[in-house]
Amino acid sequence: MAEPGAWPGRNALLSGLFGAFQAGAAQRLDTASIWQSLRQAAGSWQLQASGQLENATVDEIQAAGVNALSGQGVSAASVSTYRGIAGAWLAAKTRLQGLDMDQQITAREIFVPPWSTTAGAATPDRYRIRANWEITTPDGTVLNQWGSYELTTPLTNLNDILAQAQAQAGTIPNSDWPVGGVVTGINDYELEQI
């Protein structure tokens, strides 16, 4: 039996760096820029783990990134695969954010990554929303805070899923959530199958 989240094109390092692919897709970066971003992220990660990041130059970070990527079997084909996945993520997110608040959510607005553990017919579907809240603290400071929440009822519309997420935001322990902070808006959100 394959481990949860395993799929034929999986590369552990690139899975850990998926945020770089998401940023690249959102910014519409070209292939060379994606590779530079991956080298930077992988090199920073590797040097930080070894306690050498603080004094490293940009060239040293890039070189460490080249070593990390090649050492983990990262190829042009694997980067292309992850770029495609990030493109699917961005397309689903864009369609979701294009819905009216009371419009029905359909499969087109849900990102289903290949590592989803509930995408098979034998497993009940589960969904997670990530939201970037605008929070106003008691002293009037406005902050932005990301949160991730598993939805517990069937998907209906944006009003419903954002209300579920906001209700959970107040109950999940989070050291970064300001004491007495009140949600005053939402800046960004996305929906994925777990």
pLDDT digits (tens, 9 = 90+) for 80-137: 999 999 999 999 999 999 999 999 999 999 999 999 988 777 778 899 999 999 988 8
**What pLDDT, on the 0 to 100 scale, is given for residue 14?**
96
Residues in contact with 184: Cβ distance below 8 Å, sequence separation at least 6, in sequence order: 134, 135, 136, 142
Q: Which domain holds residue 130?
A: 107-193
Q: Are residues 52 and 112 in the same domain?
A: no
Q: Are residues 124 and 164 in the same domain?
A: yes
pTM: 0.87
Q: Does residue 1 form part of some domain?
A: no
CA distance 17 to 159: 31
**Residue 53 scores a pLDDT above 90:** yes
Q: Does residue 6 form part of some domain?
A: no
Q: Are residues 69 and 119 in the same domain?
A: no
CA distance 162 to 168: 10
CA distance 113 to 90: 12
Last residue of a domain, one of 97, 125, 153: 97
Q: Does residue 72 form part of some domain?
A: yes
